[in-house]
Amino acid sequence: MIYLDNAATTRMYEGAVDVYKKYACQSFYNMSAGYNKAIEVAKDIDETRNLILKKLGVRGYIIFTSGATESNNLAIYGSKRNGKWEYVFSEGEHPSVYNVATDLQNQGFVVHFVRLKENGQIDYEQLQNVINERTRLISVMHVSNETGAINDLKRVDLIRQKFSPKALLHVDGVQAFCKLDYKIGDYNIDLYTISSHKFHGPKGVGALYVKNLNALKNITFGGGQEKGYRSGTENTSGIMAMGYAISHFNTKDNYNYVEQLKNLLKEQLSVDKKIKIFDVGSPYILSVTFPGVNGETLMRALQDYDILVGNGSACSTRKAGNRVLESMGYNLNEIKSHVRISFSEELSLKEIDFAGKKIVEVYNNILEKVK
């Protein structure tokens, strides 16, 4: 199987599975209990908090959650305040942010949506125009899960500091964490979301980085775990396995290797001049349109050759159109013929070589049939 849908999820590292099992079957204690065995687990969990903070290059707090969807909901609803506050989101956000934004709008809050430019990044001029002293929160993703476009967070922070210094900055870092080499301390980010299954950890576990706990309120109620911000017994196996994945993910080496994979695939695909390649950001994601062919048809045809590609994020595959590509100015035909190819360091150059040639061949076969 040549798996080219690593932005949807990744294969779990075998070592992470071993760690998961250890904390499920041996060190399985509830970390809130008072006996030594449980206290040891709590210490291990705290080490994972520190590991994430170190990787992010910041001081602050880590709240463990069930994944990025929950982290994003907690970041936005948790920082919401009543009164004349306004909220700013980009049109390129994942549904776990975007649908929260539309819910806030339905509740009667003033919500601004910032367009995307052709290169997939947010329109910084529009951001500048919509923020003001009433802005409570700006939420902008780090790397687009649809296109791989990387937003300039330094620029976002500078705009925020100039026009709305009190506004909180939340960043969905799901497609960036571990994969790109950066320190969020450089961007004065208040809230940052990560998800374990995007970097070879288990599914159903993630975290929210919080710079200042006073900015946040809990949105669920219960036993008061995670300093009261996320009640419920911690998923200790998942958290420890995520920690394993973080410490075994070689950010620099993987980046360089994945870039090589992406360049090879680009070379293969550009043999066919009809194919349009959109490569502007993260080497982990390549957005491609295959004029005249439906992306879903191509995706289904490729699976017969054991090649798996994505046609839009998993959450939006069943919906007509694509809000993110639409915001960038794609027309409906381009959106329909769009395929997302996303890489992992576990792929070989030989596999990419095979996949590239096969994609061109299968695309042209389908074109012939639909003529």
Least Å distance between CB 198 and ligand PLP?
Answer: 7
| Residue count, binding to ligand PLP (CB under 6 A) | 14
Contact 127, 159 (CB under 8 A): yes
Nearer to ligand PLP, 147 or 195 (CB): 195
Residues 264 and 2: their CA atoms lie apart, in Å, by 15
Decide: is 12 part of the binding site for ligand PLP (CB under 6 A).
no
* Residue of the chain from 6, 10, 79, 96 that contacts ligand PLP (CB under 6 A): 96
Residues forming a β-bridge with 139: 89, 170
Our finding on whether 141 is near ligand PLP (CB under 6 A) is yes
Rg (CA), the chain: 21
Q: What is the nearest approach in angstroms of ligand PLP to the Cβ of residue 103?
A: 16
Task: Provide the token pair at 293.
Answer: 């062919």
Q: Which neighbouring-strand residues pair with 288?
A: 277, 339
Tell me, yes or no, if 25 is annotated catalytic: no
| Rounded Cα distance, 356 and 361, in Å | 9
**Pairing relationship of beta strands 285-289 and 276-278 according to DSSP bridges:** antiparallel
Residue 205 or 216: which CB sits closer to ligand PLP? 205
Work out whether 62 is an interface residue with ligand PLP (CB under 6 A). Answer: no
Give the interface segment with ligand PLP, choosing from 63-71, 128-136, 160-168, 321-329 (CB under 6 A). Answer: 63-71
Spot the catalytic one: 2, 277, 315, 367: 315
> Least Å distance between CB 8 and ligand PLP?
7
Rounded CA-CA distance 177/194 in Å is: 7
Residues 176-215 as x/- pattern, contact with ligand PLP by CB under 6 A? -------------------x----------x---------
User: How far is Cα of residue 12 from the mean position of the Cα atoms in its chain?
Assistant: 17
| Closest distance of CB 173 from ligand PLP, Å | 8
Q: At its nearest, how many Å lie between ligand PLP and the CB of residue 125?
A: 24
Kindly state whether residue 69 participates in binding ligand PLP, applying the rule CB under 6 A. Answer: yes
Instruction: State which amino acid sits at residue 298.
Output: L
The CA dihedral of 148, 151, 152, 157, to the nearest 10 degrees, is -150
With CB under 6 A as the contact rule, the residue among 12, 41, 68, 240 that binds ligand PLP is 68
67 binds ligand PLP (CB under 6 A): yes
256/145 Cα distance (integer angstroms): 20
Q: Which of 48, 175, 282, 316 binds ligand PLP (CB under 6 A)?
A: 175
Q: Which is nearer to ligand PLP, 41 or 141 (CB)?
A: 141
Tokens 């595959």 found at: 317
- Is residue 313 part of the contact set for ligand PLP (CB under 6 A)? yes
- Element containing residue 140 per DSSP (H, E): strand 135-141
- Annotate 57-122 with DSSP letters as a single string: T--SEEEEESSHHHHHHHHHHHH--SSS-EEEEETT--HHHHHHHHHHHHTT-EEEEEPBPTTSSB
Q: Which of residues 6, 73, 145, 322 is near ligand PLP by CB under 6 A?
A: 145
Residue whose CB is less far from ligand PLP, 97 or 275:
97
Residue 270 dihedral angles phi and psi, to the nearest 5°: -75, -5
Q: Which residues form the interface with ligand PLP (CB under 6 A)?
A: 67-69, 94, 96, 141, 145, 172, 174-175, 195, 206, 313-314
As annotated, the active-site residues are 315
